[in-house]
Amino acid sequence: MTKEEVRQAVVDILEDIAPDEDVSSIKDDVTLREQMDLDSMDFLDIVMELRKRFNIEVPESDYQELVSMASCIQYLQPLLKDHQLTS
C-alpha cells in the first residue's frame, strides 16, 4: 500500500469508530486525540480493526506509534506493503 492508501485505511477505520467526527480535515502532525474525541476504548477499537481488516498485530509497546496520522502511516506502511486497499 502507498502512503495515501495507508492514510485512507486509517481514515476508514476512524470513520467507523467515530462516525460523528469530521475525519476529512485530520492533520497528519497533530495527535488524533487532540483532533477527535477519542478515548482509550476507541483507541483499542482502532487496534482491533487493524487486526481484523489487515491481520496485523500491534503490540501494546507500539501503541505510541499510532498517536498521529503521520506516525500511523510511518508505522503501518511497512506492515501493509503487500496489502491492497479494498473499499
DSSP at 39: -
Please give the sequence-ordered ranges of beta strands (E in DSSP) within 39-86, or none if there are none.
none
CATH of 3-79, one of 3.90.420.10, 1.10.1200.10, 3.30.1360.170, 3.40.228.10: 1.10.1200.10
pLDDT at 37: 87
State pTM to two decimals. 0.88
Q: How confident is the model at residue 82 (pLDDT cuts 50, 70, 90)?
A: confident
Residue whose C-alpha cell reads 511497512 in the numeric block: 78
DSSP classification of residue 30: S
Contact criterion met (CB below 8 Å) for 13 and 50: yes
pLDDT at residue 86 in the model: 57
Average the pLDDT over 69-87 and give the result.
86
> Tens digits of per-residue pLDDT, 8-60?
999 999 999 999 988 989 999 999 998 998 888 999 999 999 999 999 999 99
